[in-house]
Amino acid sequence: MNNTALRQPELWRPLVSALRGGAPAGTRQIEFRGTVHPGSYGGSILDDGESRHGGRSVMDALEPLTALVDGRGVALRALVTAAGDAEVDIVAGACPVSFGMGSAILETVLLVDRADPEPYRRAPVRHDGVTTSPNADPEAVRALVQRLLPGAPAASPAALAAAESSLGAALPADVRALYLSAGAGDLVLPADPDLFYGMSIIALDDAAAREYLEPRSRYGSWSDGAIEVVAPDPAERVQPLAASPAWFAVGDDFGGNLLVVDLEPGPRGHVGQVLYVDHEIPAGARWLAPSLTELLTGRPSEPADPSSEDGLLVRVGPRGRTVADVRPGAEVVVVSAAPEPTDLSGLAGHETMRTLVVSHSATVTNLDVVTTLPSLEYLELGTTSWRQLLRADRVPPTLLAAGMQGRADWDTTVEVVDALLALWGRPRLDVTRVRLPSAG
């Protein structure tokens, strides 16, 4: 962040003027909360507590700021009063807090550096006796590719060896045959209802495709990754992993979804089976075919809908689910507002619950039960509940990250975030306050 530039009051006058110009007559206080990153910006506005759309003038005032922030961006809060005074708080992105575009803005506090949510920390297990499919046929793949992509440059043996070295494992023979026949290109099969439609071959040096399979590329924000669950494959072909270092992207389906070969399948799968990684689903992969050969020469299974949450995620609230519905083995519990307060005491001692989200609009009792959950790594609450736990010294020491719910008072939010960071010995928020006493 260019601290010197952002501390200049004149830089913020266009934003303050735009906020005041769009407010209804008689408005006593205007509050804007938003984020600015290189190339992107936005936020939300409250006039005396009532939400309104910012309009073009507010966006125009934010746009020049994108050139003054680094890749981590900033979160900001601008407060304008009817008297004409204004102040802007700027939170640098270097701090261990992720910025959201919702009402909280200071969305997630990372308490343990570089930690990932549990589904993304899972490592594949090697199952003895699992082999490649007996129908995997490198010669069939080679002949198909040469017929459909005649003259396509092949990947070099050196590039293939480098890819395998990076992967830490040898690729199946039919996958090697693909790359030694064509290093890239659109492999479009003739229209036939009994055959696969084809794929665009992902080059061995396509870093973007490989990076997409990395955990942090898939889950985006901690709050999103923490509520993801990966149900077991009923056929035991695919391990229940959110992401896996044993998945190697060989193609995409012309729609942004990846086709990967799986080198560490489940106990009833095959080494080199092909999985479908949906770009709209941030965790897991779905089985397509026992091998690349069978994908390209037959009609693979349609990617099945993701397995049901199967009791791994329980949403407690007015639709009838209660704390009593949280069974052993559940991983994620989300509590929303209900006509009566939700008593959390029934969760005491739950062994596998790793995520608990309590909506800021929900009323709960026995909140301190969170200290009895040995696997709890992510807790998301409104600031009132966080202050309750902080005052009672009942913040669970097992947490890796903490989430903020609702649009609480800004100073209270900063206070809560700083208190959580202090408990884990992390630096406080880097907040710069710019005052504009004569904003007009």
- List the one residue out of 239, 221, 5, 3 whose CA is nearest residue 126: 239
Q: Which of 310, 309, 255, 262 has the alpha carbon at shortest distance from 287?
A: 262
Name the one residue in this structure whose structure tokens are 């934003």.
Answer: 15
> How many Å separate Cα 253 from the centre of its chain?
22
Per-residue model confidence (pLDDT) at position 23? 87
Q: Do residues 406 and 360 lie in contact, with contact meaning Cβ atoms separated by under 8 Å? A: yes
Q: Is 98 helix (H, G, I), strand (E, B) or coil?
A: strand
- DSSP one-letter string for 149-210: STTPPPPPHHHHHHHHHHHTSPPPHHHHHHHTT-SSEEEEPPP-TTS--EEEEPPTT-HHHH
| Chain centroid, CA 43 distance in Å | 20
Dig out the tokens for 94 from the structure: 């270097």
Does residue 110 contact residue 97 with C-beta atoms inside 8 Å?
yes
Res 103: pLDDT: 61
The whole-number pLDDT of residue 309 equals: 65
Query: Tokens standing for 384?
Result: 């009132």
Report field, pTM of the whole predicted structure over 0.85? yes
pLDDT in tens, the chain (440 residues): 455 778 889 999 999 999 988 888 889 999 998 888 888 888 888 898 888 877 788 889 999 999 888 878 888 999 999 888 899 999 887 668 777 766 667 888 999 999 999 999 999 999 999 999 999 999 999 999 999 999 999 999 999 999 999 999 999 999 999 999 999 999 998 877 778 889 999 999 998 888 889 998 898 889 999 999 999 999 999 999 999 999 999 999 998 899 999 999 999 999 999 999 999 899 999 999 999 999 999 876 666 555 556 789 999 998 778 999 999 999 999 999 988 999 999 999 999 999 999 998 899 999 999 999 999 999 999 999 999 999 999 999 999 999 998 888 889 999 999 999 999 999 888 899 999 976 44
Per-residue model confidence (pLDDT) at position 104: 67
Residue 440, pLDDT score? 44
Closest C-alpha to 2, from 46, 36, 39, 53: 36
pLDDT of residue 438: 63
C-alpha distance from residue 254 to each of 30, 250, 259, 276, 410 (Å): 46, 13, 11, 13, 45
pLDDT reported for residue 382: 93
pLDDT of residue 266: 96
